[in-house]
């Protein structure tokens, strides 16, 4: 299996399990370079040798999303074409016909949670907190977070989380069905791997069929609505001077 050269995504693969580690510690902010790295992984993600994909974060944080302070310093780093590009990558992940798992090893906010929401299943460390705090800085989730969170937890709870900028605990996320399992922090990743290996022990063709059908069951307008949210996000970021 040929692995692409990336820096902001650390890649490892073994026995069909592809592990993509967000590598921008300590906060694992998602930068334009991260999205280019993710784009460069497309061929690998589609490879028949990859049976399952796991996203996790380097160190103690899954990802705290986009570095808004960095964006304020370099406004062009997050222009509309970049946001569109990032959204295409997340949508690509959400439509893969192999399981894509978010192993949420620590704090997971903003774009980090939007990445996790683009995955099929989310596993969470007991100490992690999750949230979409964009409204607190005058923005909105622009990477599909609104649409996917509504799909995953229902409109009422999703709007509560987004409008209040809630930071929910792992146990609360489990109650809301935002995550599927919560594992102890100490051996989080090994527990996550056991879960993943069990998941892929089913017949490959059957897994693919379920994931294809899952995509079909989504709102037909979901992708259009995600694009509209991205447009609103870039308008808000360019029309207002966001204070951090």
Partner 1 sequence: MKRQLTGEEKKAISEEIREFLAEEFEIDPSEITNDTNIVDDLGGDSILFMEMIEEFKEKYDIDLEVRTIGMYMLKNPIYTVGETLNAVYEIIEKGEDLIEEIGEGESTVVQ
Q: What are phi and psi of 209, to 5 degrees?
A: -65, -45
Q: What are phi and psi of 55, to 5 degrees?
A: -100, 135
Residue ranges in 215-244 that form contacts with partner 1 under rule CB under 8 A: 240-244
Q: Is 114 a catalytic residue?
A: yes
Structure tokens at 193: 């791997």
Q: Does 97 bind partner 1 (CB under 8 A)?
A: no
Q: Does 166 bind partner 1 (CB under 8 A)?
A: yes
**Given 137, 140, 152, 199, the residue binding partner 1 (CB under 8 A):** 137
Residue 101, SS3 per DSSP: strand
Residue 104, SS3 per DSSP: strand
Structure tokens at 117: 């929401």
> Which of 161, 173, 162, 170 minimizes the C-alpha distance to 233?
162
Query: Among residues 10, 33, 114, 126, which one is catalytic?
Result: 114
**Given 13, 84, 97, 165, the residue binding partner 1 (CB under 8 A):** 165
- CA–CA gap between residue 219 and residue 147 (Å, rounded): 9
Query: Which of residues 189 and 195 has its CB atom nearest to partner 1 in the complex?
Result: 189
Beta carbons of 149 and 117 less than 8 angstroms apart: yes
**Window 176-215: contact mask with partner 1 (x via CB under 8 A):** ----------------------------------------
**Given 11, 37, 64, 141, the residue binding partner 1 (CB under 8 A):** 64
Residue 129's CB is within 10 A of a number of other CB atoms, namely 19
Q: Does 136 bind partner 1 (CB under 8 A)?
A: yes
**At closest approach, how far in Å is the CB of 27 from partner 1?**
6
Q: Does 73 bind partner 1 (CB under 8 A)?
A: no
Q: Does 99 bind partner 1 (CB under 8 A)?
A: no
Structure tokens at 237: 């970021």
Query: Among residues 126, 134, 205, 222, which one is catalytic?
Result: 134
Q: Does 129 bind partner 1 (CB under 8 A)?
A: yes
**At closest approach, how far in Å is the CB of 233 from partner 1?**
14
Question: What are the residues whose beta carbons fall under 8 Å from the beta carbon of 179, sequence distance 6 or more?
Answer: 104, 122, 123, 124, 130, 170, 173
Tell me which residues touch partner 1 (CB under 8 A): 26-27, 60, 64, 107, 109, 129, 131, 133, 135-138, 164-167, 169, 240-244
């Amino acid at each position: 299996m040929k692995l692409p050269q990336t820096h902001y995504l650390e890649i490892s693969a073994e026995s069909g399990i592809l592990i993509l580690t967000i590598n921008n510690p300590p906060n694992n902010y998602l930068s334009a370079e991260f999205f280019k790295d993710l784009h460069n992984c497309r061929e690998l993600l589609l490879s028949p040798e990859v049976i399952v994909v796991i996203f996790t974060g380097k160190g103690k944080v899954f990802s705290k999303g986009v570095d808004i302070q960095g964006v304020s310093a370099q406004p062009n780093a997050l222009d509309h074409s970049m946001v569109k590009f990032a959204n295409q990558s997340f949508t690509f992940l959400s439509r893969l016909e192999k399981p894509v798992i978010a192993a949420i090893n620590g704090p997971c906010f903003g774009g980090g949670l939007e990445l996790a929401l683009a995955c099929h299943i989310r596993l969470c460390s007991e100490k992690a907190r999750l949230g979409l705090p964009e409204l607190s800085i005058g923005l909105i989730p622009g990477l599909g977070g609104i649409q996917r969170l509504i799909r995953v937890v229902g409109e009422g709870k999703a709007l509560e989380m987004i409008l209040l900028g809630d930071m929910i605990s792992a146990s609360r996320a489990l109650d809301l069905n935002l995550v599927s399992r919560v594992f102890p922090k100490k051996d989080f990743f090994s527990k996550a791997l056991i879960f993943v290996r069990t998941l892929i022990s089913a017949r490959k063709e059957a897994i693919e069929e379920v994931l294809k059908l899952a995509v079909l069951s989504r709102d037909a307008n979901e992708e259009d609505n995600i694009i509209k949210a991205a447009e609103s996000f870039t308008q808000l970021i360019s029309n207002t001077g966001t204070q951090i």
